[in-house]
A and B are shown apart, each in its own frame.
Chain A
Amino acid sequence: QEKVQQSPESLIVPEGAMVSLNCSFSDSASQSIWWYQQHPGKGPKALISIFSNGNKKEGRLTVYLNRASLHVSLHIKDSQPSDSAVYLCAVNDNNNAPRFGAGTKLSVKP
């Protein structure tokens, strides 16, 4: 069973700051890793994924994956108050049944 751990649990930053979120997983043979965003009272929404070692950039988001160290990170450039949400890391196993971390609660203050 895949174990997924996220850090920090919560983060408060000023508007415009760079945000870095971390996720570690237990199975190096895992498939893709996804980041989801969840606003209060809503279901999670997929943001960005990565499969291969290295980085991937989409707009203000950049994700880095290092399979050797079982670590993935999400970086949000020029953070906005609308980015305030819980960010969930999800790791897919070979059965395509994703396992989620507990999440990081991000607050971006104007």
Chain B
Amino acid sequence: EAAVTQSPRNKVAVTGGKVTLSCNQTNNHNNMYWYRQDTGHGLRLIHYSYGAGSTEKGDIPDGYKASRPSQENFSLILELATPSQTSVYFCASGAAGEDTQYFGPGTRLLVL
């Protein structure tokens, strides 16, 4: 089964600080995704990527940047964290041409 790991698993940040969430997958999937999950909203797509060097905006990209330096790694960057970005963040991967997504365990972020 596809393996997706995320780090850190829990993070407390201060308003205005920079936060980097990391995701690694070991299944050579081309596609990777970042979502946030909040009560009442389900999973909302922030950024996604079709391969190393590519990033695409999802539905709620404001306040977030993404970086895909390699096939295995996909990072989500909050340059100036705000309390409204307190959430649980999920990374997922998927093979090109297939529509199954494999999710990581999530990162719980609290911005004070």
**Given A97-B45, A97-B56, A102-B42, also A43-B100 (CB < 8 A):** no
For A45, what are the chain B residues with a Cβ–Cβ distance below 8 Å?
103
At the interface, yes or no: B51 with Cβ under 8 Å from chain A? no
- Would you list which residues of chain A between 91 and 108 have a CB under 8 Å from chain B? 92, 95-103
Binding site for B on A (CB under 8 A): 1, 4, 6, 31-32, 34, 36, 41-46, 49, 88, 90, 92, 95-103
- CB closest residue in chain A, given B98: A96
Q: How large is the interface on B (under 10, 10 to 19, 20 to 34, 35 or more residues)?
A: 20 to 34
CB pair A44–B58 under 8 Å, yes or no, is no
Total contacts A-B at CB 8 Å: 59
**Given A44-B43, A45-B103, A92-B99, also A99-B59 (CB < 8 A):** yes
A45-B103, A102-B40 known; 9 other A-B pairs, CB under 8 Å? Answer: A42-B105, A44-B43, A49-B99, A88-B43, A90-B43, A96-B99, A98-B45, A99-B45, A100-B44
- Please report the C-alpha to C-alpha distance between residue A42 and residue B9 in the assembled complex, in whole angstroms: 11
- Please report the C-alpha to C-alpha distance between residue A49 and residue B94 in the assembled complex, in whole angstroms: 15
- Please report the C-alpha to C-alpha distance between residue A23 and residue B103 in the assembled complex, in whole angstroms: 21
At the interface, yes or no: B24 with Cβ under 8 Å from chain A? no
- Would you list which residues of chain B between 31 and 71 have a CB under 8 Å from chain A? 31, 33, 35, 40-45, 48, 56, 58-59
Binding site for A on B (CB under 8 A): 4, 31, 33, 35, 40-45, 48, 56, 58-59, 90, 92, 94, 99-106
Residue of B4, B58, B103 most packed against chain A (CB within 10 A): B103
**Given A31-B99, A34-B99, A102-B40, also A97-B48 (CB < 8 A):** yes
CB pair B99–A43 under 8 Å, yes or no, is no
